[in-house]
Amino acid sequence: MLRRTFGFIRRTTPPGAGLGGAFGLALFVWDLVQNAGFSVMGVENDTLTQAVMGQFLGLIVGMQGAVLACMTGLGALAGALVRLALGDVRHARRWTLAALVVAHASWLAGAIVHAPQLFTESLYDRGGWRASLQVFLTEHLSPWAARAPAVAIGVAVLAALAWRGWRRSRKVTAATGGALAAALALTAGAHPGPPVPGGRPNVLILAVDSLRADQVPDEILAPNLARLAARGTRVERAYTAIPRTFPSWVSLLTGRWPSTNNLRTMFPRAEQRARRFDALPERLAALGYETAVVSDFAGDIFTRIELGFQRVRAPIFRFSGLVEQRSLEVHPHFLPYVTGTWGRRLFPIVDEFAQLADARIVTDRAIETVDEMAATGRPWLLAVFYGNAHFPYAAQWPHYRKFTDPAYRGPYRYHRPPDVTGGAEETAADRAQIEGLFRGAIHEVDEGAGRLLAHLAETGLDRETIVVLVADHGENLGEHDHGVGHGEHLRGEAALRVPLLFAGPGLPEGVLRAGVARTVDMTPTVLGLLGVEKPPMDGADLGPWLRGEAPSPVPYAYVETGIWFSDQGEDFYQKLRLPYPSVLSLGEIDHAHGDEVVLRREWAQLINVAKHRALIEDHWKLIYMPLADGVRFELFDVREPGGPDRSAERPDVVARLREKLYAHAELHENAHVRGGYVLPGPLTPSPWGEPLVPRLGSAQNQP
């Protein structure tokens, strides 16, 4: 029976298809043997792996089945085409297999050169010949040079098939070619330039995750953003409300503090998100605007909360998505075929790969969205959010090579994944490499943003568009012992200060306004520039100040930390904080709302009480740090990068800013101060089953 079955398959399968399918199957099995195991960004956890296997086994099996079907199917199709092109050539099976091996190896090499971060786990991180191979490819080849053999084989196969088809049926081939030419001609003329809308201006929010204020303008690093700065008005010192993406974006678009929105972490629960926020997109949509947001993995927050965007082109974050990602990551021989446009449509989870943030794809989608909205004749609001500069600083070719040292052979050759243990020690060479990768990511974003701005100019839309350049937060890159990352502490300026730039009708060009502003000021400022009445907001309308008509309306900036993802490490903030477990214990999977990762309710108050807070006024920054035995205050002069704590020298400044910090917390956090501690909301028992305040103590440490 088995022999008859295989015989039937052999008789009915095109020549070469079986060989190609077997080749795809062999690659599938090899990948599983080499890379099986669950990890996130290369970090494995046995407990997490067991939990995943227990809850998502069906999804894992389904994903592996889909990958297997695709790999064998692609192999069978390729094998059949090559074999058909070869015809009656002697040793056709051998030539078919050779062509498949060379074409696949070449296409894989091109993918490695284009996005090496995807392949470090299976190559560079394993050392030896694998690491040497990846370094050689990325240092000496371009993606298309590496893919040249695959392209040559493909062209040869198509040419042979076309010749055979021409010989068999010249009329059919000619008719097909004529139809194809006509279709191409029609397509070429099917996309006229979008009309320029009248009435209120359009709004383009250009946002870059982790973009630091000191990188704009920089004509070498970001020449297109520098040109944008030259035709706009820029704020000298703009501070994020919270250096974490989700709560920061909600504050940006609502003009309210994270505490006002009750969104103060990356993992809010469904009930915290399920309300009307009266955000900028919603308010403008009610006035007839088309509204949209386009992003890569960094913008998966926009699929988790309703802020009024009518079009959302961003991936969906859920824990099951991490399982889907890993199901693809373990197959490096399949990745080259799913990272393009069609592969992303077949496997949408590819957009959630942090290692594959691609500014070119985001820009393409943004341009498509602009054309779609402009074609309606209505004004529009578009937020474009680039995630390249976020962990793991994964720039694509050639940007990852532009600012890095080709001789570097440390662990951060191609990207810098998050250190979830908090215990990694980095050398000066490591830090230089990380900064180089980060700068390369910014350079890639600048290229994409420049292309988008050029499209607006080509279509005439730039004349009626207000452009806002902003970031959700900045980034520490190892300066002054502040570590790498954002959100864990408030020392230094790198992670807290962001660019804030407005360009467009009615705004001065090439102006820098000296003073302090906040990201919560963006939305009221945009509404003011549009002549739209703003609802009650915590932020201020900066418009008159930007135009030079009035003094700054901002009295101070206020910043709070996010949650600490880890409870381990030797970083100073791990020693100067109220303890609570790592995010693996704080979180849970909300199966009732799409397998989202959310924080457990019982930890909410302690997380908010434990936050560090900072108040910035003029050139002084006061940092509040609650500890188990009292409260610590630090005072820094922001004019002294990496300067010492000045609290002992200036107790008068500490006392003045401390009172303002407490007043802000009482007003905007619904908090009361007890024993020096800021205690937001009603006092509830802690997760340890005892009142929170007695556990903290009542002594207040004064500097």
Q: What is the pLDDT of residue 55?
A: 75
CB 242 within 8 A of CB 557: no
- Which of 545, 560, 575 lies at the terminal end of a domain, its last residue? 560
- Which of 530, 560, 590 lies at the terminal end of a domain, its last residue? 560
Same-domain status, 153 and 80:
yes
Same-domain status, 176 and 206:
no
Estimate to the nearest angstrom the gap between the alpha carbon of 244 and the chain centroid.
Answer: 12
Q: What is the pTM of this model?
A: 0.90
- Asked, for residue 591, whether it belongs to a domain, the answer is no
- Asked, for residue 493, whether it belongs to a domain, the answer is yes
Question: Domain limits at 554?
Answer: 202-296+357-560
Q: What is the pLDDT of residue 49?
A: 61
CB 597 within 8 A of CB 614: no
CATH of the domain at 490: 3.40.720.10
- Dist. CA 44–CA 39, nearest whole Å: 4
- Asked, for residue 396, whether it belongs to a domain, the answer is yes
Smallest CA-to-CA distance from 204 within 352, 363, 440, 438 is with 363
Same-domain status, 496 and 609:
no
- Asked, for residue 618, whether it belongs to a domain, the answer is yes
Same-domain status, 69 and 155:
yes
Estimate to the nearest angstrom the gap between the alpha carbon of 234 and the chain centroid.
Answer: 24
- Which of 123, 149, 182 lies at the terminal end of a domain, its last residue? 182
Q: What are phi and psi of 624, to 5 degrees?
A: -100, 125
Same-domain status, 209 and 110:
no
- Dist. CA 283–CA 261, nearest whole Å: 16
CATH of the domain at 676: 3.30.1120
- Asked, for residue 196, whether it belongs to a domain, the answer is no
Q: What is the pLDDT of residue 397?
A: 95
- Asked, for residue 407, whether it belongs to a domain, the answer is yes
Same-domain status, 267 and 392:
yes
- Dist. CA 619–CA 640, nearest whole Å: 10
Same-domain status, 260 and 137:
no
Strand partners, 517: 238
- Asked, for residue 585, whether it belongs to a domain, the answer is no
Same-domain status, 222 and 174:
no
Cβ burial 379-398 (10 Å sphere, 16+ → b, else e): bbbbbbbbbbbbbbbbbbbe
Burial (Cβ within 10 Å: 0-12, 13-18, ≥19) of residue 670: middle
Same-domain status, 394 and 533:
yes
Same-domain status, 649 and 677:
yes
Q: What is the pLDDT of residue 591?
A: 87
Same-domain status, 277 and 390:
yes
Q: What are phi and psi of 554, to 5 degrees?
A: -95, 120
Looking at the structure of the chain, the number of domains it has is 3
Same-domain status, 366 and 454:
yes
Asked if omega into 398 is within 30° of 0 (cis), the reply is yes
- Asked, for residue 72, whether it belongs to a domain, the answer is yes
What is the per-residue pLDDT across 214-259, written as a single tens digit (0 to 9) for each? Answer: 999 888 999 999 999 999 999 999 999 999 999 999 999 999 999 9
Length of the chain: 703
Amino acid letter, 179: A
What is the per-residue pLDDT across 109-160, written as a single tens digit (0 to 9) for each? Answer: 999 999 999 999 999 999 999 999 999 999 999 999 999 999 999 999 888 8
Q: What are phi and psi of 633, to 5 degrees?
A: -120, 140
∠ CA 314-537-382, nearest 5°, is 30
Please list, in sequence order, all residues whose beta carbon lies within 8 angstroms of the beta carbon of residue 538, skipping any fewer than 6 positions away. Answer: 255, 256, 257, 260, 520, 668
φ/ψ region of 515 (left if φ > 0, alpha if ψ in -120 to 50, else beta) reads left
| DSSP-derived pairing of the beta strands 620-627 and 613-617 | antiparallel
Counting as low any pLDDT under 70, the low residues of the chain are 1-13, 37-54, 166-198, 418-424, 682-703
SS3 for 129? helix
What is the per-residue pLDDT across 475-529, written as a single tens digit (0 to 9) for each? Answer: 999 899 899 999 999 999 999 999 999 999 989 999 999 999 999 999 999 999 9
Distance in Å from the first CA to the final CA of the chain: 86
Is the Cα dihedral 98, 99, 101, 102 positive or negative?
positive
Q: What is the pLDDT of residue 57?
A: 84
- Dist. CA 632–CA 612, nearest whole Å: 10
